[in-house]
Structure 1
Amino acid sequence: TLNINCLYAQVNTDLIVLDVKVSGSKIGVYSRTAKPITNREAYDNQPAFINEKQLAFSAADDKGNHDIIIYNFESEKFTNLTKTPNTSEFSPSLTDCGLYVSAVTVEEDGKQRLWLYPTNFGEPELLYDDIEPVGYYDWYDNKAAMFVLGNPNTLVYPYSKEEVLTIDENVGRSIKRKPKSSIITYIDKNNPVEEDGAITYQILGFDIEKRTHHQFGFTIPGAEDFIWLNKNLLLMAHGNQFYYRKARDEEWIVEGNVQLQSHEGISRMAYSPKLKKLVVVMNRKTD
């Protein structure tokens, strides 16, 4: 069986923060401001801003369990949202209502389902008991569009208990709602295109309200993580370099990089318009 621990390959990763400036159709990345938020030989990954001051992420403890940690940019302190010896929590995100941080939880029997963890540290709640194994997801209208592991992997959206729509099959791990819209975007792995010896995929969208499909061009070759900076701008990275483009343009524009002696290879990213900060995941260099 394919489980989430295979998905989240356990390399030693850290969270790196940079100052950025996004204006309309451009981003400026201040490469020299890059500095580690976490700095240890373990898995710190999957950053998600949950408000103007706080970032949630998944972190491995010394026994290999994964918990959701909250980092506060003002105090520069870390707090455990979860501290579970027998389950692991991945992919944190703030729910639409703002009262919970959701997470994919690997339960004691190996089930991978979406749970809600109250931001006031109350008792967690299971969200969809019969949708699993969940890998990744994003929110629209208090419901989660979920990447469900399988052969093939599918993207589903539960309009109701009775209607769980399969939006697409053979999708990538980036499931992102387009800001200020009802469109869930994702990477389509059905028709890969080879470019300069690397694979590029189409970025597609599904409008939850209108039930229409949309196209947003192709990924940069050799990368699969994308985020929206605003309703027009997409950001990706490859190696230590950032690339951005307007959703309707074809050409990616190179903008800024991360130059750290200790880290290489940007993967997941999170952006806070209020803080004007970009948090990225990078691999620790091995000696």
Structure 2
Amino acid sequence: MNEPSPVGRRWIRVGLLCSRRRTVNKTLQDVMFCLLSATLTSSCTADTAPGEPPDADPFAATPADGPAPEIGPAPDDYRPTAAGAPSTDIWIGRLERADDGTLIVTGLTNATDRDGYDNQPSFGPAGAALYYTSAVDSTQTEVFRIGLEGGATEEVNGAASGDPGTAGRATPADTGQQVTRTPGASEFSPTVIPGQDALSAIHEERGLQYLWRYGTDGTDLGPIFATVEPVGYHAWADERTAAMFVLGDTPTLQVGDALSGEVRTVAENPGRSIHRIPGTAAISFVRKVTEDEWWIEGLDPATGETERIVRTLPGREDYAWTPAGEILMGDAAALYAWSAAGGWSEVPGVAPPVQLSEASSTAPGDISRIAVSPDGTRIAIVRSR
């Protein structure tokens, strides 16, 4: 085992207390992850179990930081983001463990399998649905959903149409159910808001990009923040705190309270992959120190304090967490897992040659974005076509 850093040693006592609060047997890796979480949040809390959404809407009808933005005519040089989107697929598989506890992926299925942009997957809180961004034409994207009830990822290709899946589908409706319908605008990065029957997404309209809210039925609930723009990516630390990648000459990471409207800049030059660290109220992001030195760091949204976790794979910024505290990251067509105890290692079952389900008609390409279900049993991987 690697010697703990001075910061880690300061939190050993806290980490041991955290580990005793768990009701299941924990491995050495779990305890080390709890220590890391303690350095960021000073406590270790369990993820909130999925439950019924509250009766009252916790967010006001208008943003707390100001009046709803007015969206005027698009600039003459405006080019929708969707116009430059690459052709990508979302692959879904089972995330399992070998006898020695290492991760493996089984049953990879190309869940979208069409020419066009299908990307930015995010699981619902119960893991029974996958939300994602899909290009409906060459200039517009919408939010779509794939149902995963029953646990058979081999069946997701026919989720909407009953069709077992063929290559070159003409429309995204062949693979998923459309959630949003916003002619003249696009949505990106759909994410279920903790404690709500609602999604947050980046709403792009006429050259402006705001963090927006929609019901899971697609109802337009309006902007969450009025003064934060242009938002590129985001994640939720808790039911009210959002971390946002904000574009600019120097991109910034900003933390906003959706109830009070308070927004603070906490870091500069972050990467696009922002996540809540499982079991905590901390956020992780990639800090690009130099062109070739990138670190995944943890952020305490309440204090703005950060802590380095691990250096990324060279030139890679997309990653995801497992509930046990591993970090998953792709490099070309291979998937790697990092743990505090073991460092980086390749995850079997992802890089070609790999056994695919019969529903998959295309070979998997290079990996970019990754999502893991809250219970850690499913994985969604974005791959180039």
TM-score with structure 2 setting the length: 0.66
Aligned partner of 1:206 in structure 2 is 299
Structure 1 residues 137 and 3, CA gap change in structure 2 (3 angstroms): farther
Please give the root-mean-square deviation of Cα atoms over the aligned residues, in Å: 2.6
Contact map agreement 1:135 1:147 (CA 8 A) in 2: yes
Contact map agreement 1:4 1:106 (CA 8 A) in 2: no
Shift of 1:123: 3.2
Matched, 1:280 2:381: yes
Shift of 1:7: 9.2
Matched, 1:66 2:164: no
Shift of 1:275: 6.9
User: Aligned equivalents of 2:318 and 2:109: distance in 1?
Assistant: 21
User: Aligned equivalents of 2:271 and 2:135: distance in 1?
Assistant: 24
Aligned partner of 2:367 in structure 1 is 266
Matched, 1:221 2:295: no
Aligned partner of 1:89 in structure 2 is 187
Matched, 1:243 2:344: no
Shift of 1:210: 4.2
> What is the letter of the counterpart of residue 94 of structure 1?
V
Structure 1 residues 19 and 147, CA gap change in structure 2 (3 angstroms): same
Shift of 1:10: 1.3
Structure 1 residues 42 and 120, CA gap change in structure 2 (3 angstroms): closer
Aligned partner of 1:165 in structure 2 is 264
Question: Which structure is larger by alpha-carbon Rg, 1 or 2?
Answer: 2
Contact map agreement 1:17 1:279 (CA 8 A) in 2: yes
Aligned partner of 1:186 in structure 2 is 285
Structure 1 residues 162 and 79, CA gap change in structure 2 (3 angstroms): closer
70-79 vs 147-156, which moves further: 70-79
TM-score with structure 1 setting the length: 0.87
User: Aligned equivalents of 2:232 and 2:96: distance in 1?
Assistant: 31
Shift of 1:133: 0.2
User: Aligned equivalents of 1:275 and 1:184: distance in 2?
Assistant: 18
Q: Which SS does the other structure have where 2:213 is aligned? A: strand
Shift of 1:8: 9.0
Contact map agreement 1:153 1:171 (CA 8 A) in 2: yes
Structure number with the higher helix fraction is 2
Structure 1 residues 147 and 250, CA gap change in structure 2 (3 angstroms): farther
User: Aligned equivalents of 1:5 and 1:269: distance in 2?
Assistant: 24
The partner residue of 1:118 within 199, 215, 231 is 215
User: Aligned equivalents of 2:261 and 2:196: distance in 1?
Assistant: 26
Q: Deviations over 1:57-76 (max 9, x none)?
A: 00001343100001112372
Structure number with the higher strand fraction is 1
Shift of 1:30: 2.9
Structure 1 residues 7 and 212, CA gap change in structure 2 (3 angstroms): farther
Q: Which SS does the other structure have where 1:222 is aligned? A: coil
Aligned partner of 1:175 in structure 2 is 274
Q: Higher relative CO (CA 8 A, sep ≥ 6), structure 1 or 2?
A: 2
Structure 1 residues 7 and 187, CA gap change in structure 2 (3 angstroms): farther
User: Aligned equivalents of 1:177 and 1:277: distance in 2?
Assistant: 18
Shift of 1:4: 9.3
Aligned partner of 1:21 in structure 2 is 96
Shift of 1:217: 1.4
The alignment-based identity, stated in percent, is: 30
Shift of 1:250: 7.5
User: Aligned equivalents of 1:66 and 1:231: distance in 2?
Assistant: 33
User: Aligned equivalents of 2:319 and 2:79: distance in 1?
Assistant: 20
Structure 1 residues 82 and 162, CA gap change in structure 2 (3 angstroms): closer
Q: Which SS does the other structure have where 2:343 is aligned? A: coil
131-140 vs 7-16, which moves further: 7-16
Q: Which SS does the other structure have where 1:221 is aligned? A: coil
Matched, 1:137 2:229: no
> What is the letter of the counterpart of residue 185 of structure 1?
S
